[in-house]
Structure 1
């Protein structure tokens, strides 16, 4: 899950009228695989959806850390194969192979903040946030921001997932 803009930690009102956080900063580490990331070689990758739509397949990929473009492509193909049974990165599973996709998008080095439900280490509380996280694009100076390499899925619309554009945002750079 992703959103754009500055992040704000969600709150809810308790029975006594006090506001309580419903999420906290999360730094994915060794627990990344248990929380939806796939381990491919030494990389941790996940597919994400556009924050405004609900798609059957990911519109973009996030890899923890700043990684090489070729490694992102390999990891994204492995993600699609393992999670969705897709054999080609340039198509979504079941699409017409005659459809031309001119090129694989470039990967972007950027930063993001991960927000997670505040109590992931115990049995679920039954609320809507249980076992979920969301990621917000952020400048590298923001509290909790970590390096991320992001790439749109080649079959997704160009503006999918709102990945920062290095030609417009100085804190993002093209992956090599």
Structure 2
């Protein structure tokens, strides 16, 4: 899951007066596969939902590290095949194949921060325990990791809320 705003670390003061983050920072590494990423030709990729978190299928993809656009498209297709059993990347199930699908969106090189539950809005032990979410971040933010992001071709442009380099977002177009 993602949010569209830039990352802002929220902290709380503990009983002993120590300030700590409300959510812990997580850097996906060897445990990335255990947390929803797949590996395709050495790339760690996962599908992401939009800010509303109400879609059955991914509206976008994130890949760890800065990667080439063509590699992202191939990895996204592999993700959809492996996770959802799709044979192509272009349509959501039930979509009308006669409707024009916009060309595959370009990937952006940006940064994100992965936050892990617990979150102050949810008590420990709830359904959100041990889940993560990602927020876009400038490269200088604490815990920011380089990622490549791409909207799913069938998702409306506004759904994925990926950073847009043409609008001054902290991102550049992938080659």
TM interval, shorter chain, is: 0.7 to 0.9
CA contact (8 A) 1:9 1:115 kept: no
CA contact (8 A) 1:46 1:63 kept: yes
Change (3 A) 1:89 1:63: same
Are 1:7 and 2:33 counterparts? Answer: no
Q: Secondary structure at the match of 1:147?
A: strand
Question: Which moves more between the two structures, 51-60 or 61-70?
Answer: 51-60
Question: Which moves more between the two structures, 164-173 or 146-155?
Answer: 164-173
Are 1:38 and 2:38 counterparts? Answer: yes
CA RMSD of aligned residues (A): 2.3
- Name the structure 1 match of 2:95: 95
Q: Deviation string for 1:49-100 (max 9, x for gaps)?
A: 1112400100000000000000000000011111111111111134332222
State the TM-score, normalizing by the size of structure 1.
0.86
User: Matched residues in 2 for 1:53 and 1:22: separation?
Assistant: 21
Unpaired runs of 5+ residues, structure 1, are 119-124
- Name the structure 1 match of 2:158: 159
- Paired residues for 1:26-175 under 5 Å: 26-117=26-117, 126-169=125-168, 171-175=170-174
Q: Secondary structure at the match of 1:73?
A: helix
Q: Secondary structure at the match of 1:130?
A: coil
State the TM-score, normalizing by the size of structure 2.
0.86
User: Matched residues in 1 for 2:114 and 2:102: separation?
Assistant: 32
- Name the structure 2 match of 1:121: none
